[in-house]
C-alpha cells in the first residue's frame, strides 16, 4: 500500500535523526563546525554517508527534499573530513580543514547540479579570497568530469530521464533528437588529404577547410586519419624546419584516431559524440558498405532541432486553440 512508504521513510529518517540531529535539513550548524574545524572526524565521516541516505529515504518515500542544500552539506563533510585526515597523516603540513570543507562544498554542488559557475562564485563570495580560486577550479573540473562520465547528467535531468521525458545536461529533449536521423542531415565534407600530399598542399587545404581539421584518406580511398593546424603548428612556426618542409608529407603529421558515426544513427548519438570529444562535425559512414559518404555538423543538428521544436510547440498551440 502507498501509505507504507511514508511510514518507512519517516521511521528511517527519525532513527538517524535521533542519534544525529544535525541530519535534518533545517540545521546548518554542522556545516559551520566543519568550516571552523570544531567537529570530530568520526562525526564528519558518518555524515558523509548518512545525509544522502536520509535524503534518499525522504524523497523515495514521497516526501519533499532538495538537491542544493544536501549537496552543500555532504560537500562540507567530505572536505572537512579530508582536511582533518591530511593533518593526521601529514601533521607537519598544518592545513586548514575549513578550506577543504569550502572546496568540498563547491565540488559536490558542481558534480550534482552541473552548475560549475554557480559553485565557483558561491564559494568565492563566501571567502573573498583569491588564493582559493585555483584549488576550487581544479576540484570543480574533476567533479564535472566524473559527473559527466558516470552519471551522464545532473540530479535534475536524471529525474526527467526516470519519468521518460529525456532531457540532457543542456536542457535539450533527447527524445526529439533520437527521432531525428543522421541520414537526413549529411552534407559534403571538405576536400580530403591524401597520405602522400606534401606540406604546402596540406596547409592550403587546411586554409580552405570550414573546420580546423581535414580528413586523410589512404591509397584505397578510405578515411585513415585527420590533420589539424595543431598537428602542423610546430613545423609551421619553426624556422629551422623550413629547409625540410618540401620533404614532409601527410603521413608525417596525421592522427590515426577518427571519431565517426553511421548514417543509420540518430542525432542524439551524434551530438553526444561531438560533445564528448569536443568536435564540430563527424564523418558519416554508410552502414551497408562502411564507406565515407559525408559529414554531419553540430550547427546543422542544433538548427534542425530548434526548427522541429518550434514546429511541435506551435502545432500543439494550434490544436488547443
- Tens of pLDDT, residues 90-115: 999 888 999 999 999 999 999 988 88
Q: 162, 190, 214 — which closes off a domain?
A: 162
> According to the model, what pLDDT value does residue 298 have?
93
C-alpha separations of 228 from 5, 130, 199, 268, 270 in Å = 58, 37, 12, 26, 21
Least confident of 60-74, 116-130, 138-152, 237-251: 237-251
> According to the model, what pLDDT value does residue 315 have?
67
To the nearest whole percent, how much of the chain has pLDDT over 90? 33
220 domain residue, yes or no? yes
167 domain residue, yes or no? no
> According to the model, what pLDDT value does residue 318 have?
46
Q: For residue 225, what are the domain limits?
A: 175-319
Is the pLDDT at 320 greater than 60? The verdict is: no
Is the pLDDT at 319 greater than 50? The verdict is: no
111 neighbors 141 (Cβ within 8 angstroms) = no
> According to the model, what pLDDT value does residue 317 have?
52
Instruction: Give the pLDDT confidence of 233-275 residue by residue, as tens digits.
Output: 777 776 666 667 778 888 888 888 889 999 999 999 999 899 8
β-strands 213-217, 223-228 pairing:
antiparallel
184 in the same domain as 241: yes
> According to the model, what pLDDT value does residue 102 have?
92
Which grid coordinates belong to 160? 526527467
308 domain residue, yes or no? yes
Query: Which of these, 40, 102, 117, lies nearest to 72 by C-alpha position?
Result: 102
Is the pLDDT at 296 greater than 90? The verdict is: yes
262 in the same domain as 118: no
Banded pLDDT at 161 (limits 50, 70, 90): low
> According to the model, what pLDDT value does residue 151 have?
75
126 domain residue, yes or no? yes
More confident call, 218 vs 81:
81
144 in the same domain as 71: yes
The CATH code of the domain that includes 212 is 3.10.580.10
179 in the same domain as 158: no
Which grid coordinates belong to 111? 558534480
Burial class (CB in 10 A: 0-12, 13-18, 19+), 137: middle
Q: 111, 138, 162 — which closes off a domain?
A: 162
> According to the model, what pLDDT value does residue 1 have?
66
56-68 mean pLDDT: 82
To the nearest whole percent, how much of the chain has pLDDT over 70? 88
> According to the model, what pLDDT value does residue 149 have?
81
69 in the same domain as 45: yes
Give phi and psi for 95, each to the nearest 5: -80, 165
302 in the same domain as 211: yes
Number of domains in the chain: 2
Mean pLDDT over all residues of the chain? Answer: 85
Give phi and psi for 210, each to the nearest 5: -75, -30
> According to the model, what pLDDT value does residue 169 have?
58
196 domain residue, yes or no? yes
Amino acid at each position: 500500500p502507498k501509505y507504507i512508504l511514508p511510514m518507512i521513510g519517516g521511521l528511517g529518517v527519525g532513527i538517524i535523526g535521533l542519534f544525529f540531529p544535525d541530519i535534518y535539513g533545517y540545521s546548518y550548524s554542522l556545516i559551520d563546525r566543519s568550516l571552523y574545524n570544531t567537529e570530530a572526524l568520526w562525526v564528519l565521516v558518518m555524515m558523509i554517508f548518512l545525509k544522502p541516505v536520509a535524503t534518499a529515504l525522504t524523497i523515495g518515500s514521497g516526501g519533499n527534499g532538495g538537491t542544493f542544500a544536501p549537496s552543500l552539506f555532504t560537500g562540507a563533510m567530505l572536505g572537512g573530513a579530508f582536511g582533518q585526515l591530511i593533518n593526521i597523516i601529514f601533521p607537519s603540513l598544518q592545513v586548514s580543514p575549513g578550506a577543504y570543507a569550502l572546496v568540498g562544498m563547491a565540488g559536490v554542488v558542481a558534480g550534482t547540479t552541473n552548475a560549475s559557475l554557480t559553485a565557483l562564485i558561491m564559494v568565492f563570495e563566501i571567502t573573498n579570497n583569491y588564493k582559493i580560486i585555483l584549488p576550487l577550479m581544479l576540484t570543480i573540473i574533476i567533479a564535472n568530469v566524473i559527473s559527466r562520465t558516470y552519471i551522464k547528467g545532473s540530479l535534475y535531468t536524471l529525474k526527467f530521464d526516470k519519468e521518460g521525458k529525456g532531457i540532457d545536461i543542456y536542457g535539450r529533449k533527447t527524445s526529439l533528437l533520437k527521432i531525428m536521423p543522421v541520414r537526413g542531415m549529411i552534407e559534403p565534407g571538405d576536400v580530403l588529404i591524401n597520405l602522400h600530399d606534401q606540406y604546402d598542399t596540406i596547409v592550403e587545404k587546411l586554409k580552405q577547410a570550414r573546420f580546423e581539421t581535414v580528413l586523410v584518406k589512404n591509397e584505397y580511398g578510405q578515411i585513415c586519419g585527420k590533420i589539424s593546424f595543431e598537428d602542423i603548428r610546430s613545423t609551421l612556426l619553426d624556422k629551422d624546419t623550413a629547409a625540410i618542409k618540401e620533404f614532409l608529407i601527410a603521413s608525417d603529421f596525421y592522427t590515426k584516431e577518427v571519431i565517426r558515426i553511421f548514417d543509420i544513427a540518430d542525432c542524439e548519438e551524434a551530438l553526444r559524440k561531438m560533445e564528448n570529444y569536443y568536435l564540430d562535425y563527424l564523418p558519416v559512414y554508410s552502414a551497408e558498405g562502411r564507406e565515407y559518404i559525408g559529414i554531419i555538423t553540430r550547427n546543422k543538428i542544433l538548427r534542425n532541432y530548434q526548427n522541429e521544436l518550434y514546429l511541435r510547440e506551435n502545432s500543439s498551440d494550434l490544436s488547443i486553440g
